[in-house]
Chains A and B, each alone.
Chain A
Amino acid sequence: MSDAEGTTHDTGAPTRDPEPTPETGATRERVGDGKFGDYGGQYVPEALMPAIRELEDAYERYVLGNEDGFRDEFRRRIREFGGRPTPLQRADELSQRYDTDVYLKREDLLHGGAHKLNNALGQVLLAKYMGKERIVAETGAGQHGTATAMAAAHLGMPCEIYMGERDIVRQRPNVFRMKINGAEINEVTTGRGTLKEAISETMRDWATTVENTHYVIGSIVGPHPFPTMVRDFQALISEEAREQVLDQVGRLPDAVLACAGGGSNTMGAFHHFVDDDGVGLYAVEAGGSSLAVDEEEGVAPNSASLSTGTEGVLHGARTKLLQDGDGQIVESHSVSSGLDYAGVGPELAHLVDEERVQPVNVDDDAALEGFHRLSQREGIIPALETAHAFGYLEEHADELGDLVVVNVSGRGDKDLEAALEETEQRDIDNAPPMDELTGGL
């Protein structure tokens, strides 16, 4: 592939000079064959291999090579349809609270209400360039499903979304949005009915329909080239943020924080900072209710695969996983559907091993507090996924330096019902009086 030499992929015209990166060894190497150290790869059934090869080829030609003007069209559509660039906003109240400059990268303002459209629009457009006739996708929080349904409607592609039965209940507003955009929803009832099962079921669909269908995977997970390609589409976040922070503050941040499920908003927010040694990168995972794994039950009451997982193979890639000693994947758990996954992107796993990215986590309660804090103090209702990053900021602001960028991966409209219910069940100190709120539901 074209850039095994430690340069970074851009999904469009470079906005900063491709300055020669210091040769710092394996850490900075972008591996062109889909391996990040030992992670990554293509562990998929043979029936899918030709489609994956076809996708690799399309990725190189259109996304990297701008063949037929793909990148130009993607840039135009993500601007006009998506509303990019998103602002980098100083959070005045939080800055005062922590005595640190806190800036928010406002992906919640992207069309659809989350960073997910960057990738969904890119992949649906790519599918069109490839001549595919049908789109399938999995979704956890429903944000990727919604973004994919929107992109498919926008570009005139039939679209089916797989979603776990549990998530269908937890994220009802997004189910409506997908249906209103014309997508068909396929309920997945196996396992705990969350993201892991939805991905497995979408792969099964794809194994059947691979000849005319493209699978729009929703994070930097799955077989090569998905992790690299999704990262490239999401890297718009850090491409803009880096330029904005230099422009608005005149220097690079000391830390960038992003929540991490599969890790697409995370790598999107980190990518253009990876070579900036002074910028700390913090992937905030869902600590759930506990970091322990219950081997007996096959359950981990968390989704902290970067912090606590071990190496294994799931959904097409070798990466860090929540698994038992035999290699059976355990059921993860988080108050936020979008982080509720037993795996994580191979690139993040690698950057954690290389100690370039710090894996950290906060529990469900801290995330709910973060949800209420950002809503009350900044007038931004964040997604429960995003709220984890603010939970971490609250606990560790004094260790993060003087200038912190937090990626606001999405807005919380989809979570109102779940957040209020969860808040009521727990004792969340900073929540508004619940009886007033839930009485009206």
Chain B
Amino acid sequence: MGRHPSQSHDSERDASQSHDSERDASGEEPSETRLLADGSGSDLRAAFDGEPAFVPYLAVGDPDYESSLAYVEALERGGADAIELGLPFSEPIAEGSTIQEAVVRSLDAGMTPERFFEFVADLDVDVPLVCMTYYNLLYQYGGDEAESGPRPFVERAAAVGLSGFVVPDLPAEEAGPLREACDEFGLDLVSIVAPTTEDERLEKLVDISSGYLYVQARLGVTGADVAPSDQTAESLERLGEYDIPKAVGFGISDGEQAAEIVSAGADGIIVGSALVEIVAEGYEHDRPTDDVAANLEALASELKAGARRGGEQAVPRPDGS
């Protein structure tokens, strides 16, 4: 620790090493942009510079390692600005049935945290990559009791070139140790903001977040079957004052919705289940990998174009962005 430029954050977290006091770990100070350990800007944050960002999600290793590599690379060709890579966990409580099934396919095909890191290293893409997984996998990695906690996972993630994390079962209250490890290795920690998040929690969430904020477009679990709600615009409005990109996800499945969300003020869109459905359909019908990849690229292009369109329609913000 100590390389983080934001002194006040660090001292507070150092004081909160013991788990008992984690609740107070994120403190009261105003939010500010986190910078990477080497002092440069976060590459995740940079993915939102310029036009609205398209951030797709796929479960890594679904339905097998090789196809999955091709699918992720197709997303970049389709215009992805950053990619969320799901590391499958056996109890994905924030996931609807589409991604649950993807998780089962991937685990059945032998995906493990170690294979996941190999996968990231094998990927031939230039956009920043975010690991989306559940806390137990981060917590267990590296195994021995001497260093239980997320640090070994984060260290390895940094080594293979990941840029950050989204951990849906890790609220701000429990995020102290992961935030600390991310600061140490120069990675971002993306927090999820829910429609139910009260204003007083927003500050706390923004404070521990970096890269971007994941704005949940509706209540419930992931899935393309339930569209984003009008709570989205409300959330975006509440978040307007915070200087961090806002990416909206949960329920976005086509270019039209992408345009709508961006025109409501989002800096980017996150799409998972709609893309995973293409993988599932290809698997069920035994389609050639190239065909499935082409379908993924096509939907990605549509979503990216929708986001762009939404950006052109967007009401200019007070700060001129």
Question: Which of A's residues lie within 8 Å of B, judged by CB?
Answer: 31, 33, 35, 38, 41-51, 190-191, 196, 200, 203-204, 207-211, 298, 311-316, 321, 323, 325-330
Is the C-beta of B192 less than 8 angstroms from some C-beta in chain A? yes
Proximity bits, B199-243, A CB within 8 Å = 1, else 0: 001000100000000001001110000000000000000000000
Residues of A within 8 A of B113 (CB): 326-327
B171→A44 contact, CB < 8 A: yes
Task: Kindly state whether residue B20 has any CB partner on chain A within 8 Å.
Answer: yes
Instruction: Collect the chain B residues with CB atoms within 8 Å of residue A190's CB.
Output: 100, 104
Contact A208 B219 (CB under 8 A): yes
Q: Assess A312 versus B196: contact at CB under 8 Å? Given A31-B20, A204-B96.
A: no
Contact A326 B221 (CB under 8 A): no
Q: Which of B2-10, B138-146, B256-264 lines the interface with chain A?
A: B138-146
B136 close to chain A: CB less than 8 A: yes
Shortest C-beta distance, A136 to chain B (Å), equals: 13
- Nearest Cβ on chain A to B85's Cβ, whole angstroms: 16
CB distance from B296 to the nearest CB of A (A): 25
A196/B91 contact (C-beta < 8 A), A313-B169, A326-B112 known: yes
CB-CB < 8 A to A327: which residues of B? 89, 113, 136-137, 139-141
| B residues neighboring A (CB under 8 Å) | 19-20, 22-23, 89-96, 100, 104, 107, 112-114, 134-137, 139-141, 143, 148, 168-174, 191-198, 201, 205, 216, 219-221
Contact with A313, one of B107, B135, B141 (Cβ below 8 angstroms) = B135
From known contacts A203-B93, A326-B137, infer whether A49 and B197 are also in contact, taking CB-CB under 8 Å: yes
Q: Determine the chain A residues whose CB is within 8 A of the CB of B23 once the complex forms.
A: 33
- Tell me the interface secondary structure of chain A in the complex: mixed
Asked if B140 contacts A47 (CB within 8 A), the reply is: no
Contact of B139 among A203, A211, A313 (CB under 8 A): A313
B91 contacts A314, C-beta separation under 8 Å: yes
A45-B194, A329-B90 are contacts. A311–B171 as well, Cβ < 8 Å? no
CB distance from A321 to the nearest CB of B (A): 8
Measured CA separation A327–B134 after assembly (Å): 10
What does DSSP make chain B's interface, helix, strand, loop or mixed?
loop
Specify which chain A residues have a CB less than 8 angstroms from the CB of B136 in the assembled complex: 312-314, 321, 323, 327, 329
Which residues of A are found within 8 Å of B90, using beta-carbon distances? Answer: 191, 298, 328-330
Q: Judging by beta carbons under 8 Å apart, are B137 and A44 in contact?
A: no
Chain A nearest CB from B221 CB (Å) reads 5
Q: Which of B134, B192, B197 contacts A50 (CB 8 A)?
A: B197
Contact in complex: A38, B19 (CB < 8 Å): yes
Instruction: Enumerate chain B residues within 8 angstroms of A209, measured Cβ to Cβ.
Output: 219
Among A31, A33, A196, A208, the residue within 8 A (CB) of B221 is A208
Asked whether A42 lies within 8 Å of B173 as measured between CB atoms, the reply is yes
Q: Which residue of A lies closest to B101 (CB)?
A: A190
Interchain CB contact under 8 A, B19 and A315 = no
| Interface CB pairs A-B, < 8 A, 27 | A31-B20, A43-B171, A45-B169, A45-B192, A46-B193, A46-B205, A46-B216, A47-B197, A50-B194, A51-B196, A190-B100, A190-B104, A200-B91, A204-B93, A204-B94, A204-B221, A207-B94, A211-B219, A298-B90, A312-B139, A313-B139, A315-B91, A321-B136, A323-B136, A326-B112, A326-B137, A326-B141
Residue of A nearest to B133 (CB): A327
20 more A-B contacts (CB under 8 A) besides A45-B168, A45-B194? A38-B19, A42-B173, A42-B174, A46-B194, A47-B194, A47-B216, A49-B194, A50-B201, A191-B90, A209-B219, A311-B148, A316-B169, A321-B136, A323-B136, A325-B143, A327-B89, A327-B113, A328-B90, A328-B107, A328-B137
Min CB distance A140 to B, Å, is 15
Shortest beta-carbon distance from A320 to chain B in Å: 12
Residues of chain B lying within 8 A (CB to CB) of residue A312: 136, 139-140
Query: Which single member of B20, B107, B174, B192 contacts A43 (CB below 8 Å)?
Result: B174
Measured in the bound complex, the distance between the Cα atoms of B92 and A191 in whole Å is: 12
A341 to B143 alpha-carbon distance, docked (Å)? 23
A46-B191, A50-B201, A208-B221 known; A328+B196 contact, CB < 8 A:
no
A45 and B198 contact, CB distance less than 8 A:
no
Q: Are B219 and A47 in contact (CB under 8 A)?
A: yes
CB within 8 Å for A41 and B219 given contacts A47-B196, A210-B196? no
Specify which chain B residues have a CB less than 8 angstroms from the CB of A210 in the assembled complex. 196, 219
B201: A residues at CB distance < 8 A:
49-50
Q: How far is the CB of B137 from chain A (nearest CB, A)?
A: 5
- Collect the chain A residues with CB atoms within 8 Å of residue B174's CB: 41-43
Contact B135 A46 (CB under 8 A): no
CA distance A321 to B185 in the complex (A): 29
Q: How far is the CB of A211 from chain B (nearest CB, A)?
A: 7
How far, in angstroms, from A329 to B95 measured CA to CA in the complex? 16
Bound-state CA distance A82–B141 (Å) is: 47
Neighbouring B residues of A321 by C-beta, 8 Å: 136
- Enumerate chain A residues within 8 angstroms of B134, measured Cβ to Cβ: 313
A298 to B22, CA, bound (A): 32
Residues in A neighbouring B148, C-beta threshold 8 A: 311
Separation of A312 and B196 alpha carbons in the complex (Å): 27
Once bound together, how far apart are the Cα atoms of A314 and B95, in whole Å?
15
Q: Distance (Å) between the CB of A430 and the closest chain B CB?
A: 38
A40 shortest CB reach to chain B, Å: 9
**Please, which residues of chain A bring their CB within 8 A of the CB of B197?**
46-47, 49-50
A35 touches which of B20, B107, B140 (Cβ 8 Å) = B20
Output the least CB separation between A3 and chain B (Å): 15
Residues in B whose Cβ lies below 8 Å from that of A325: 140, 143
* Contact assessment for B220 and A208 in the assembled complex, using a CB-CB cutoff below 8 Å: yes
Closest to B198 in A: A50
Question: Smallest Cβ distance from B79 to chain A, in angstroms?
Answer: 28
Q: How far is the CB of B146 from chain A (nearest CB, A)?
A: 13
Cβ of B100: which chain A residues have Cβ within 8 Å of it? 190
Is there an interface contact between B137 and A207, defined as CB atoms closer than 8 Å? no
Instruction: Decide: A207 and B221 in contact? CB cutoff 8 A.
Output: yes
Which B residues touch A203, using CB under 8 A? 93
In the assembled complex, the Cα of A49 lies from the Cα of B91 at a distance in Å of 19
Specify which chain B residues have a CB less than 8 angstroms from the CB of A35 in the assembled complex.
19-20
- Which partner residue on chain A sits nearest B88 by CB separation? A328
- Residues of B near A44 (CB, < 8 A) are 169, 171
7 A-B pairs closest in CB distance: A327-B140, A208-B220, A47-B194, A327-B136, A328-B90, A313-B136, A327-B137
How far is B149's CA from A311's CA once the two chains are assembled, in angstroms? 11
Chain B residues, CB < 8 A from A38: 19
Looking at B23, B113, B140, which has the most chain A CB atoms within 10 Å of its CB? B140
A-side contacts of B170, CB under 8 Å:
43
B130: shortest Cβ distance to chain A, in Å?
17
| CB nearest neighbor in B for A191 | B90
| CB–CB A33/B171 < 8 A | no
A176 to chain B, nearest CB (A): 28
Which residue of chain A lies nearest to B116 when distances are taken between CB atoms in the complex?
A326
B residues less than 8 Å from A48 (CB atoms): 196
Residues on B with beta carbons closer than 8 Å to the beta carbon of A311: 148
